[in-house]
Amino acid sequence: MKKIDFLDSKTCTLLGLILNLILTFFKLFAGIFGLSYAMIADGIHSATDTLATATAYVGIRVGEKPADEDHPYGHAGAETVAAFVVALIILGTGIFLGGSAIRLIIREDFDAPGNIALIAAIVSIFVKEGMFRYTIKVGENNNSPAVIASAWDHRSDAYTSVAALIGIIGAKIAYIYLDPIAGLLISALIIWMAIKLLRSNIGIFMYERPDPDFLEKVKNTACAIDGVKDIHDIRVHRCGPGLNVDIKIAVNETLSVGEGHHVAGKVRSELLLKIEHVREVMIHVNPYQGNLDDDKS
């Protein structure tokens, strides 16, 4: 029997999908029969979590496909697209739930929630926070935008369950209006989380400059190679879970084309070996003529 790798992106996403389905039915049941709008809102959020997790899974599967004639650089970008779609799903859910909560507050259509809604909120908090910690670890280990987006989706669900719990307890004690207000707070948390994810993925689409420490690590690794006299330019962009590096190196101008190519090959090998998540390296070899500006190289 093949051993299950729980640090694999697909395994993590499938596990999240199963748990989301179970929680969706449990929360909706508890919200409907426990007369809690906050828990119904939380259940609807879990339903969209399920859709978001399924989207992330599809993105991961497509992203694993090898390069072909129409996609010479592979399909890794599918993960970023999936993460962006997940963020849009979360945003739409937050807006819908916020509108529904406002209508309930205006109509003053309140009911005292039952104990089952309280139990569902507590269970959801522990399950979803646990899933967040597990999923974010897998996402960061694999540098997967889709899995990281799914992790923050779990965290947003944990937050909404906390808000639901506060609203339910408040409504049961005396302040019955706290339940729909908790639903409104849940929608605000969901929208905030969605905007955060959208900004992150738009940065990937727009080839946002990576962390300066990462660029420094790339430069130091390349400069340590025998034959490299200087680094003129480094460009890095995300492609799904991988990083593509474009770098200009300067070598002694007396080297032959073959010798310069050999130095470039060593730089490429070292970057692929020592820099985590680097998948592709393009190296431009220029003759060393002192400290030149990039446009003179």
pLDDT tens per residue across span 98-107: 888 888 778 7
Instruction: Name the domain boundary from 174, 205, 236.
Output: 205
Q: Letter for the amino acid at 126?
A: F
Residue 99 covered by a domain: yes
Mean pLDDT of 116-128: 92
DSSP 144: -
Mean pLDDT value across residues 61-83: 79
CATH of the domain at 282: 3.30.70.1350
| Residue among 136, 130, 140, 160 at smallest CA distance from 150 | 136
Indicate if 68 and 175 belong to the same structural domain.
yes
The whole-number average pLDDT for the span 37-55 is 81
- Dihedral of CA 129/135/140/145: which sign? negative
CA–CA separation, 297 and 59 (whole Å):
39
Per-residue pLDDT, 36: 84
Residue 226, classed as helix, strand or coil, is: coil
Q: Can you tell me the mean pLDDT for 25-31?
A: 92
**Same domain assignment for residues 122 and 174:** yes
Q: DSSP secondary-structure letter at 240? A: T
pLDDT computed for residue 1 by the predictor? 43
Q: For residues 35 and 119, state if they share a domain.
A: yes
Q: Taking residues 61-88, what's their average pLDDT? A: 80
Tokens of 78: 């599918």
Domain range for 287? 212-296
Choose from 97-101, 123-127, 273-277 the range with maximum mean pLDDT.
123-127
Domain finish residue from 165, 186, 205: 205
The CATH number of whichever domain residue 76 belongs to comes to 1.20.1510.10
User: Pairing mode, if any, of strands 228-239 and 278-287?
Assistant: unpaired
pTM > 0.85? no
| Residue 184 in tokens | 């409104």
Mean pLDDT (the chain, rounded): 83
What span, in angstroms and rounded, lies between the C-alpha atoms of 87 and 264? 40
Report whether pLDDT(291) > 70.
no
- Given a cut of 70, whether residue 218 has pLDDT beyond it is yes
Query: What's the CA angle centered on 91, arms 86 and 177, to 5 degrees?
Result: 135
Average pLDDT over residues 253-265: 89
The pLDDT, as a whole number, for residue 22 is: 93
Q: How far apart are the C-alpha atoms of 281 and 50, rounded to whole Å?
A: 37
Neighbours of 74 (CB within 10 A): 18
Kindly state whether residue 1 falls inside one of the protein's structural domains: no
| β-sheet bridge partners, residue 231 | 249
Q: Which of 155, 178, 205 is the last residue of a domain?
A: 205
Residue 236 sits in the same domain as residue 111: no
The answer to whether 236 and 216 have CB atoms below 8 angstroms apart is no
Same domain (yes/no): 51, 142: yes
Q: What is the mean pLDDT of residues 42-48?
A: 82
CB 249 within 8 A of CB 228: yes
* pLDDT band at residue 274 using 50, 70 and 90 as cut-offs: confident
CA–CA distance, 281 with 278 (Å, rounded to integer) = 8
pLDDT at residue 125 in the model: 93
At residue 203, the 3 state secondary structure works out as helix
